[in-house]
Chains A and B, each alone.
Chain A
Amino acid sequence: MSYLPTKNRDVEQRLRDEAKSLLEQGRVDYVIGFEPGSLKFTTTPLITNNKDDVDHLVINPFIVNNLSVYLTEIKGRVGIIAKGCDSRSIISLIQDKQVVREDIVIMGIPCPGLIDLKKVERLVGKDRDELDNIIRDGDKVVITVDGQGKEYPITEVLYDNCLGCEFPTPQEYDVLLGEPAPLVTDLTASRQKIEMLEGMSQQQRWDFWKDEFSRCIRCYACRNICPACFCERCFVEESEPQWVLPVPRWQDNLIFQVVRNIHVAGRCTDCGECERACPMNIPLRSLARKTYDLVDELFHYKSGTDKEASPLMTAYEQAEAEDFIR
């Protein structure tokens, strides 16, 4: 099954050709991309050094993972598929000297936004595995249930972070596959949860997060899926001193997330992976995007847009807001 109209499939073929030639010419040791997942409407990361595997590479509205998370782990030169936000994460890793630009070949994919299956499920009142098909065509999506196709505006099913995307086309690449993507945004929908939180009193907000973090089971999927979380040893795992308990008490869960957000400030590219990975449906992106906006507002800094720039917290510019220093 393909989730793309036929006219977009040549991008997939170009990608496979490119990836194959990278491996054949020995320009990279590994290719990281997406192959079809084992469940409906899923893809799964493909990490391979075998040129025959690249025929499985796919591009579709379900290529959710930010593959740059693997860059710090894989030894050798890597050809990687990157959407707009992923390319920014790569740039950020270069700025932080976690990876070397010369060791990476970026195959950029202009990204018109990814489909949030939870939104699809809410929209049609069925679980993802009960749907026949989901096909995106430009600014429309056709969802087929029990043989009946129904068309919806694409903005109803894109991830919140995609609706707030600023750079759908990769900011850094060696080869760009496809035409630069048009910006499909709905900033109101993208900021809906954040505005709801901004409208709360401090007490209400505290109660909200207490409730949300009471569900956290401390599986650390949010941290492990995050390319900006590259610490070899996370502060939550320190035992001397023990900053927080490794047990899922809501207070410790909250501190974990607050500190994590501050640690990734200036590195987070709003790829939305933390929230997508959370099995407990905690709206983590609301914290991440708020921090992202604060970084922009206070430091006029957008993560991962300039590989020559110093990482946010290592540089000082006179134009930076300093009304917090008194």
Chain B
Amino acid sequence: MTGKKKISKGNIERLLNEWSQEFTVFVPSQENGVATLAKWGGGDTSFLAWYRNTITPAKANFFPPMEEMFSFRKDREGYHIELPPTDERKQLIFGIRPCDARALAILDMTFKDAYEDPYYLSKRNNTVLIGLGCLNPYDSCFCTSLGISPAESTDVDLMLTDIGDQFLIEEITQKGRELIATASGVEEATEADEGKAKEVKEASYKKVAKKIETEDIKEKLLPAFNNQDYWERAAAKCLSCGICTFLCPTCYCFDINDEMVKNQGERLRSWDSCAFPIYTKMPMENPRVEKWRRVRQRVYHKYEFYPMSFGVIACTGCGRCIRQCPVNWDITQALNGLPAKI
């Protein structure tokens, strides 16, 4: 008896069907050649074979690319505001990777601790996360440099590790424990299962080849802030598109627009990006007109300003910003290339 549980891969379909009774279940899907989290339609567990990570991170389930904040109508008496209907049905995300789960904990600091964002929190408080250890990290992944092990997480409710024909299950939260208590197909794990899980976790950790030096990063970042020459060189090839920020699991900037037709409309919020030249142009001006200032901002917000505000680096090394960048702009090179501290 190890106190841990396991489930055979063949039983995952049944488990997901069971959970679908209570939750809207999201699983990795590859429709249209883009890996995303999609609503479980039943039957297809082929993702267990191909899934490495999704293109859009799980943040999109809490902070979607676009959402309605409220609708409004104007008549003789004035404005009438109506909040959008909230989805009372709980969501369950199956297969979230440790990097993306940590990213949600980082987003919580902004959307829950710094101020309470009702749109984010209504979904966040209504969600169960089932983590799935990553055994085959991409060559763009560098999570281990940010204190994350690709197959371990305590930022989820249940954590699964692939041990061959079965998954070892670790119960991380009370919510997770309750979830698995009534699930069918769940067995007690043996010492051997746990040994195997430990082995694959270690092997996976070693596979993460990309690294950044985080040890003295603070000392290097501070004096480099005004090194215009360094940042101009680093920024030269950037196209100022929004891929790195939109697909980043911890980026949370948004824009707000009113769509009004005649006397009624909606207020919408959507992802915004500090890479865009027109960022914050609506209220005033963009203080970062030159490209190098915008590129620097993305790096410093994650590695300097977020640690100043919340004590953690707002990057989990998921590598999307490198993998998806159309010019292969690589944040690890920008960080590792920082001039040595003086």
The yes or no verdict on A and B being binding partners is yes
Distance of A168 Cα from B323 Cα, bound (Å) = 28
A249 touches B (CB below 8 Å): yes
Say yes or no: B33 contacts A281, CB within 8 Å.
yes
Contact between A38 and B242, CB atoms less than 8 A apart? no
Chain B residues with CB below 8 A from A44, complex form:
237, 327-330
Q: Which residues of B contact A273 (CB under 8 A)?
A: 326
- Interface stretch, picked from A134-142, A192-200, A218-226, is A218-226
Q: Is the CB of B237 within 8 A of A224?
A: no
A55 within 8 A of B: no
B contact residues around A254 at 8 Å (CB): none
| A221-B243 contact in complex given A118-B33, A245-B259, C-beta closer than 8 Å | yes
Report if B52 contacts A (CB, 8 A): yes
Decide if B55 touches A279 in the complex (CB within 8 Å): yes
B108-120: CB near A (< 8 Å → 1, else 0) gives: 0000000000000
The contact string, 1 if C-beta is below 8 Å from chain B, for chain A 116-148, is 001000000001011000000000000000000
Contacts of A239 on B, CB cut-off 8 Å? 282
Seen from chain A, the residues whose Cβ lies within 8 Å of a Cβ on chain B are 37-40, 42-47, 65, 69-70, 118, 127, 129-130, 212, 215, 217-221, 223-225, 237, 239, 245-249, 273, 276-277, 279-281
Cβ–Cβ contact A217 & B139, under 8 A: no
Q: Are the C-beta atoms of B237 and A220 separated by less than 8 Å?
A: no
Q: Kindly state whether residue B32 has any CB partner on chain A within 8 Å.
A: yes
List the B side residues contacting A37 at CB < 8 Å: 328, 330
Contact of A47 among B237, B268, B271, B276 (CB under 8 A): B237
Chain A residues whose C-beta falls within 8 Å of the C-beta of B136 in the assembled complex: 130
Q: Which 10 pairs between the two chains have the least Cβ-Cβ distance?
A: A219-B242, A277-B326, A44-B328, A221-B241, A129-B139, A247-B270, A37-B328, A224-B239, A47-B236, A45-B237
The answer to whether A280 touches B259 (Cβ under 8 A) is: no
Indicate which residue in B243, B259, B278 contacts A279 across the interface (CB closer than 8 Å): B243
With A44-B328, A248-B65, A280-B34 given, is the CB distance from A217 to B239 under 8 Å? no
Closest-by-CB residue of A relative to B319 is: A39
Complex alpha-carbon distance, A245 and B330, angstroms: 31
In the complex, the answer to whether B328 meets A219 with C-beta atoms within 8 Å is: no
B residues in contact (CB < 8 Å) with A: 32-34, 52, 55-56, 65-66, 136, 138-140, 236-237, 239-243, 246-247, 255, 257, 259, 268, 270-271, 273, 276, 278, 282, 322-324, 326-330, 332-333
A225: chain B residues at CB < 8 Å are 239, 241, 326-327
Return the chain A residue nearest B273 by Cβ. A219
Contact among A70, A118, A220, A247 with B268 in the assembled complex (CB-CB below 8 Å): A247
CA distance A118 to B255 in the complex (A): 33
- Complex contact B55–A38 (CB within 8 A): no
* Chain B min CB distance to A72 (Å): 12
From residue A34, how far is it (CB to closest CB) to chain B in Å? 10
Chain A residues with CB below 8 A from B278, complex form: 237
Separation of A29 and B243 alpha carbons in the complex (Å): 30
Q: A218-B65, A246-B255 provided; 18 other pairs, C-beta below 8 A?
A: A39-B139, A44-B329, A65-B327, A70-B236, A118-B33, A129-B140, A217-B56, A217-B271, A239-B282, A246-B257, A247-B255, A247-B259, A247-B268, A248-B271, A277-B326, A279-B55, A280-B34, A281-B33
CB <8 Å contact, B241 and A38: no
Residues of A within 8 A of B138 (CB): 127, 129
Nearest CB to that of A233 among chain B residues?
B278
CB neighbours (8 Å) of B328 from chain A are 37-39, 42-44
**Measured between alpha carbons, how far is A247 from B140 in the docked complex, in Å?**
29
Contact in complex: B52, A219 (CB < 8 Å) = no
Distance (whole angstroms) from the CB of B79 to the closest CB of chain A: 20
Query: Which residues of the other chain, B, contact A212 by a CB distance below 8 angstroms?
Result: 32
Q: Are the CB atoms of A281 and B34 closer together than 8 Å?
A: yes
Bound Cα distance from A230 to B165, whole angstroms = 54
A219 to B259, CA, bound (A): 20
Contacts of B237 in A (CB 8 A): 44-47, 70
14 pairs of residues in contact across A and B, judged by CB atoms under 8 Å: A37-B330, A38-B333, A39-B140, A44-B327, A46-B237, A69-B239, A127-B52, A215-B32, A220-B242, A224-B240, A224-B241, A245-B259, A247-B268, A273-B326
A248, B139: Cβ atoms closer than 8 Å:
no
Assess whether A276 is in contact with B326, with CB atoms less than 8 Å apart.
yes
Cβ of B241 and Cβ of A220 under 8 Å apart? Answer: yes
Query: CA of A237 to CA of B239 in the docked complex: distance in angstroms?
Result: 17
Min Cβ gap A219→B in Å is 4
Given A217-B246, A221-B239, A38 and B32 contact (CB-CB distance below 8 Å): no
The residue from B66, B322, B327 contacting A45, defined by CB atoms under 8 A apart: B327
Min Cβ gap A118→B in Å is 7
* Closest-CB distance, B49 to chain A (whole angstroms): 10
With A45-B327, A217-B271, A276-B326 known to touch, is A245 a contact of B241 (CB < 8 Å)? no
Of the listed residues A217, A239, A245, the one surrounded by the most CB atoms of chain B closer than 10 A to its CB is: A217
Chain B neighbourhood of A129, CB < 8 A: 138-140
Question: Which A residues lie within 8 Å of B322 (CB)?
Answer: 38-39
- B292 nearest CB across to chain A (Å): 12
Which residues from B are CB-within-8-Å of A47?
236-237
Which residues of A have CB within 8 Å of B32? Answer: 212, 215, 280-281
Who on chain A is nearest to B278 by CB?
Answer: A237
Chain A residues, Cβ within 8 Å of B271: 217-218, 248
- Closest chain B residue to A236 by CB distance? B278
Q: What is the CA–CA distance of A42 and B32 in the complex, to the nearest angstrom?
A: 23
**A39-B323 contact, Cβ under 8 Å, with A249-B66, A281-B34:** yes
A85 to chain B, nearest CB (A): 16
Q: Is the CB of A245 within 8 A of B268?
A: yes
Complex-state Cα separation, A273 to B241, whole angstroms:
13
